[in-house]
Amino acid sequence: MQEEPFDAGEAARELAKIRRIMESATQLTVLPGWAAILGGILAVAGCGATYWILGSLDLSAMTALDADDRAKIIGVWLAVGVGAVLLDLILTVRIARRRGKNPWSRLAQLAAYAMGPSVGVAFLLSLAFALRGEWGPVPAVWMMLYGVAVWMAGILSVRAPSVLGLAFLLAGAITLFWAEPIALVMVGITFGLGHIAFGIYLLARFGS
């Protein structure tokens, strides 16, 4: 039986079709545009509130605070984190229902599984540093491990999340080795402005 000749053009078209299907699906699994923008605004607000309480851009200064002020800063960032997650979930479900899709599809589950370990490790390391009174490395830890999480999710998505993840990794490394005294600025740039810019890109590329 004679095999049909390989058609490179047809193969490329099929790959492009598969990628479009994945792009459409993973818009609902990574981060909706408005969730990224609103989450970024929350992060900027968190940076402002932290600076108002702390009076410094270096989180190492938390060791000099009393327990009440430290609790306030921790509360600020817990509120930012919970608020961002809730926004993501609510908007993801809303978009999925509008498009008649399952917000917790197999692809969404894989994205969550890919991101989960890094977020868990970030939480445990942050807790360990906090118990030792070493607050300075915490922002860099979160930037780098969040970067790993988004990078892994990007394997199942379009290229943009991988680029965002790489940016977080680089910013975290810079913060860890050189920019710890201005860590709060780096948090505002990454979790704040970075997410806002990413959200604007998603809206421009994929719509609401």
Residue 10 counted as domain residue: no
**Structural domains counted in the chain:** 1
Residue 9 counted as domain residue: no
Distances in whole angstroms, Cα of residue 141 to Cα of each of 17, 18, 85, 120, 170 = 38, 35, 19, 12, 12
Residue 21 counted as domain residue: no
Residue 3 counted as domain residue: no
Only one residue has tokens 């402005």, namely 193
pLDDT of 127 reads 93
178 CB burial (10 A radius; 0-12, 13-18, 19+): exposed
202 CB burial (10 A radius; 0-12, 13-18, 19+): buried
Residue 20 counted as domain residue: no
Residue 19 counted as domain residue: no
pLDDT of 16 reads 64
Tell me how far apart the alpha carbons of residues 187 and 46 are, in angstroms, rounded to a whole number: 10
Tell me how far apart the alpha carbons of residues 123 and 46 are, in angstroms, rounded to a whole number: 18
pLDDT of 161 reads 80
Only one residue has tokens 């000749």, namely 5
Residue 146 counted as domain residue: yes
Residue 14 counted as domain residue: no
Q: Which residues fall within 8 angstroms of residue 142, CB to CB, at 6 or more apart?
A: 122, 126, 172, 187, 191
pLDDT of 28 reads 46
pLDDT of 175 reads 97
Q: What is the DSSP letter of 66?
A: -
One-letter amino acid identity for 71? Answer: A
Q: Which residues of the chain have pLDDT under 70?
A: 1-9, 11-12, 14-31, 103, 105-108, 156-159, 208
Closest CA to 163 of 206, 192, 194: 194
CB 143 within 8 A of CB 171: yes
Q: Show the domain range for 123.
A: 26-206
Tell me how far apart the alpha carbons of residues 130 and 159 are, in angstroms, rounded to a whole number: 35
Tell me how far apart the alpha carbons of residues 95 and 163 are, in angstroms, rounded to a whole number: 24
